[in-house]
């Protein structure tokens, strides 16, 4: 899946997961799925089906609202800004004042030397980052994985991407029926496109660094055509022998390439400003130019080209959350399968009305054909005797740990049960903690303080087991719109990341 396909897919997901959308209804969803399946075929990959469906949907949606196509174009990467930054770096380098008012170049302190030192520091930082990434353990929460762009990289990203401007436009220019899904899309796109945009920004910075160095060299040579500059040196702390050693280290390779001989101690002493007149600076300019080409320009261009190739691969093989709940539902729809949801009550007998409400809620999330089964309740303390999950032809989409808010939560039981489910969860399944408030509300009524305190207790206890936010719902409710929105938001996160976090936390915290 490429970048455009991913962007289209996220836009349509935002419309199809919005609470209400007057611009995209169930008939449109069915048409897009049916048309994509007819074009791609039943055996098409998930990427091909989702990409085709999103392209068809975006085309229909844009025909109804042409401003949507404008919005999609606005969130793309503005490559011209990168070229503008490179050109600005070239101009800034050209304007570097490498000489003083007396037309004298201090061979120990030209801006060129600062450019060399800065780039060497950058190389050390890059090497350190690569070493850290190679040595860092791969285990642990997924949110901790990956590198973080630096401040300059973030500034370039903000300048070249259109998301902040597009978000402002969506808020100011679109009505609520369009603004809500568009803003959701922009937030999601900003998150998933961040690695690609950070890589693009890094490529720009490499090319800009090379351009700045080239500009500084061009400025030196052009000024040298019109004026005769004299080279010398001065220092409060350094003596002739130390200066000679320093110049040998910095300019020695360039001297070997160009055949220009570095001065000996006597010649360096004559170049000292306080006692000598200096010499024509042409040879020193050549030496520094060759050094900058070797140390800055060529490595930075090579790094920029390598980074550009990497961004091209990232854009054509976009890392997309196809494992989340929404896209898994589309995949099942393509194959003609129904989602299987396994509900496991813990120390709680679900009444018939509650089971009806549970079915309605989960089918609003997974589709009306979803297969929802409720297992026999696990007794308090019986988590160690849980038989596990049977392997069937159709894998589980979701496992629900069902609790009653009326119960008093305990770390060694309720949290341990959730942690056990996280450790034994089948591959590809998501895990949800659902707390039914029906009996509690019937007994105590809608007392906001009592209800808030009990919810906080459940959150605190379950958090000791796994890093999954519980969802609170009254299963005898008539309308599940608000709860469905919460469930969709939770399940639309990458379930692999959620389960990885859950297993990590469960293995580290709950074993007693």
Percentage of the chain with pLDDT > 70? 86
73-to-76, 77, 166, 191, 426 alpha-carbon distances in Å = 6, 9, 10, 17, 40
* Mean pLDDT across 85-101: 82
Virtual torsion, Cα 42, 45, 51, 56, nearest 10 deg: -10
User: Residue 24 gets which letter from DSSP?
Assistant: S
pLDDT score for 502: 44
111-to-93, 246, 261, 268, 471 alpha-carbon distances in Å = 10, 16, 22, 20, 60
**3-state DSSP percent of the chain in helix, strand and coil, to 5:** 65, 10, 30
Give residue 90's pLDDT band: very low, low, confident or very high (50, 70, 90). Answer: very high
pLDDT in tens, 333-374: 787 788 889 999 999 898 888 899 999 999 888 878 889 999
CB 185 within 8 A of CB 11: yes
pLDDT at residue 167 is higher than 90 = no
Nearest to 181 by CA among 12, 6, 329, 32: 12
Higher-confidence residue of 87 and 370: namely 87
pLDDT at residue 501 is higher than 60 = no
Rounded Cα distance between 291 and 301, Å, is 15
Q: Which residues contact 8 (CB under 8 A, 6 or more apart)?
A: 51, 54, 55, 57, 58, 72
Domain 325-509 fold: Rossmann fold (3.40.50)
Nearest to 400 by CA among 441, 350, 326, 444: 350
User: Residue 479 gets which letter from DSSP?
Assistant: -
pLDDT score for 333: 78
Q: Which residue in this structure is represented by tokens 């997901």?
A: 13
Higher-confidence residue of 291 and 493: namely 291
* Mean pLDDT across 376-399: 81
pLDDT at residue 497 is higher than 50 = no
Nearest to 237 by CA among 116, 112, 108, 115: 108
Segments of the chain assigned to CATH 3.40.50: 325-509
pLDDT score for 390: 67
pLDDT score for 164: 59
411-to-263, 470, 500, 509 alpha-carbon distances in Å = 77, 14, 21, 11
pLDDT in tens, 39-79: 988 778 889 999 999 999 999 999 988 888 888 888 888 88
Region at 359 (left for phi over 0; alpha for psi -120 to 50; beta for the rest): alpha
Q: How far is residue 371 CA from its own chain's centroid?
A: 34
pLDDT in tens, 314-327: 999 998 777 777 88
Radius of gyration of the chain (CA): 32
Mean pLDDT lowest among 64-78, 188-202, 269-283? 269-283
User: Residue 370 gets which letter from DSSP?
Assistant: -
Higher-confidence residue of 503 and 101: namely 101
φ, ψ for residue 434, nearest 5 deg: -115, 130
pLDDT at residue 433 is higher than 50 = yes
* Mean pLDDT across 204-231: 91
Q: How many CB atoms lie within 10 A of CB 375?
A: 15
Q: How many CB atoms lie within 10 A of CB 58?
A: 21
Dump strand ranges (E) for 247-325. 279-280
Q: pTM of this prediction? A: 0.75
């Amino acid at each position: 899946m490429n970048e455009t396909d991913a962007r289209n897919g996220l836009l349509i997901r935002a419309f199809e997961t919005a609470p209400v959308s007057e611009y995209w209804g169930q008939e449109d969803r069915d048409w897009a799925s049916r048309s994509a399946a007819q074009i791609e075929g039943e055996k098409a990959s998930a990427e091909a089906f989702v990409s085709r469906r999103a392209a068809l949907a975006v085309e229909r949606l844009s025909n109804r609202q042409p401003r949507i196509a404008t919005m999609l174009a606005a969130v793309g990467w503005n490559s011209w800004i990168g070229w503008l930054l490179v050109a600005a770096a070239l101009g800034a380098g050209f304007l570097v004042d490498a000489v003083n008012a007396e037309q004298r170049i201090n061979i120990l302190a030209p801006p060129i030397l600062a450019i060399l030192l800065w780039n060497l520091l950058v190389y050390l930082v890059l090497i350190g980052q690569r070493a850290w990434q190679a040595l860092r353990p791969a285990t642990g929460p997924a949110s901790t994985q990956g590198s973080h762009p630096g401040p300059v990289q973030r500034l370039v990203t903000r300048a070249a991407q259109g998301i902040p401007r597009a978000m402002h436009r969506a808020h100011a220019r679109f009505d609520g029926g369009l603004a809500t899904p568009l803003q959701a899309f922009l937030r999601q796109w900003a998150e998933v496109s961040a690695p690609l945009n950070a890589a693009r920004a890094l490529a720009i910075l490499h090319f800009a660094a090379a351009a700045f160095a080239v500009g500084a060299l061009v400025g030196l040579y052009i000024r040298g055509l019109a004026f005769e500059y004299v080279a010398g040196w001065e220092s409060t702390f350094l003596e002739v022998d130390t200066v000679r050693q320093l110049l040998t280290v910095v300019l020695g390779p360039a001297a070997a390439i160009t055949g220009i001989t570095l001065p000996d101690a006597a010649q360096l002493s004559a170049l000292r400003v306080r006692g000598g007149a200096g010499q024509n600076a042409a040879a020193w300019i050549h030496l520094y130019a060759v050094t900058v080409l070797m140390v800055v320009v060529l490595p930075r261009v090579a790094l920029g080209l390598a980074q550009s190739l990497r961004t091209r691969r990232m854009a054509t093989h976009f890392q997309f959350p196809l494992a989340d709940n929404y896209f898994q539902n589309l995949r099942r729809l393509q194959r003609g399968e129904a989602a299987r949801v396994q509900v496991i009550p813990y120390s709680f007998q679900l009444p018939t009305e509650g089971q009806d409400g549970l079915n309605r809620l989960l089918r609003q999330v997974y589709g009306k054909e979803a297969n929802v089964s409720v297992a026999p309740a696990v007794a308090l303390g019986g988590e160690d005797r849980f038989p596990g999950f049977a392997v069937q032809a159709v894998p589980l989409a979701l496992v629900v740990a069902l609790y009653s808010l009326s119960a008093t939560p305990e770390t060694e039981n309720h949290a341990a049960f959730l942690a056990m489910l996280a450790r034994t969860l089948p591959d590809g399944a998501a895990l949800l903690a659902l707390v039914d408030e029906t009996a509690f509300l019937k007994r105590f009524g809608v007392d906001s303080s009592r209800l808030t305190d009990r919810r906080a207790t459940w959150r605190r206890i379950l958090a000791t087991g796994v890093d999954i936010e519980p969802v609170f719902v009254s299963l005898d409710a008539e309308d599940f719109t608000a709860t469905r929105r919460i469930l969709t938001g939770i399940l639309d996160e990458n379930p692999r990341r959620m389960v990885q976090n859950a297993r990590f936390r469960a293995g580290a915290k709950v074993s007693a």
